[in-house]
Chain A
Amino acid sequence: NAGVTQTPKFRILKIGQSMTLQCTQDMNHNYMYWYRQDPGMGLKLIYYSVGAGITDKGEVPNGYNVSRSTTEDFPLRLELAAPSQTSVYFCASRQGGTGELFFGEGSRLTVL
């Protein structure tokens, strides 16, 4: 069972570069989320989606963009990377009507 798959697992970016973190799920979940996790800070919601074509901002959306063209995929775009975006990024999905989030294994991003 693949579940939620994130790529890449690790990436080093230079300041000002852009990149896309990929997330795909094979559970046919409508709801998908992007979180960032900084040491000692817990998980902060960046963006979420309630279905294909529908996205909304979370707590910390600045510097990021998302799109949701299919149920399976929810990529996160970083434009003009900054050192403050150094973090571990987690993608998650859930079935409607339940509170259980299924997380990917994370993407570790360093901006130098």
Chain B
Amino acid sequence: QKEVEQDPGPLSVPEGAIVSLNCTYSNSAFQYFMWYRQYSRKGPELLMYTYSSGNKEDGRFTAQVDKSSKYISLFIRDSQPSDSATYLCATNYNFNKFYFGSGTKLNVKP
């Protein structure tokens, strides 16, 4: 079983739509949860980072963690064409090793 499972998509939405990206993880010891955004032919960059269950909001982005069901989500409000990228969820239980999902490719159409 993979440590982190993520729907690869692709996901195509019209500009202004609300986007929901989801991952599940297998190990209840995982404590830290992250979302990285990766533009084509670039390295990933950190978008959101959270430690506990619940919601964390940053502008149009909301990260949600439900430890009881081992489920993590990223919501994007008022999506823009500039949000078109691959989104990777990640988790770890010590800072030495990070486990990444396979990534969901998002396309926001103008």
User: Interface on A for B, CB 8 Å cutoff?
Assistant: 4, 31, 33, 35, 40-43, 45, 48, 50, 56, 58, 90, 92, 94, 96-101, 103-106
Contacts and interface: CB of A to CB of B under 8 A. Distances in A.
Interface residues of B, number: 23
Interface stretch (B14-22, B41-49, B70-78): B41-49
A58 to B, nearest CB: 7
B32 A99 contact: yes
Contact of B96 (A4, A48, A106): A48
A99 B43 contact: no
Contact of A106 (B41, B95, B97, B98): B41
B102 A42 contact: yes
A43 B95 CA distance: 16
Nearest to B103: A42
A36 B49 CA distance: 22
Interface in B1-47: 4, 6, 8, 32, 34, 36, 41-46
Given A31-B95, A40-B102, A99-B49, A104 B6 contact: no
B23 to A, nearest CB: 10
Contacts of A103: 43-45
A104 B46 CA distance: 13
A94 B49 contact: no
Given A99-B32, A106-B41, A45 B46 contact: no
A43 to B, nearest CB: 4
A105 B36 CA distance: 14
The 10 closest A-B pairs by CB, nearest first: A103-B43, A42-B102, A43-B100, A42-B100, A100-B46, A99-B32, A103-B44, A105-B43, A104-B43, A40-B8
Nearest to B49: A99
A85 to B, nearest CB: 19
B88 interface: yes
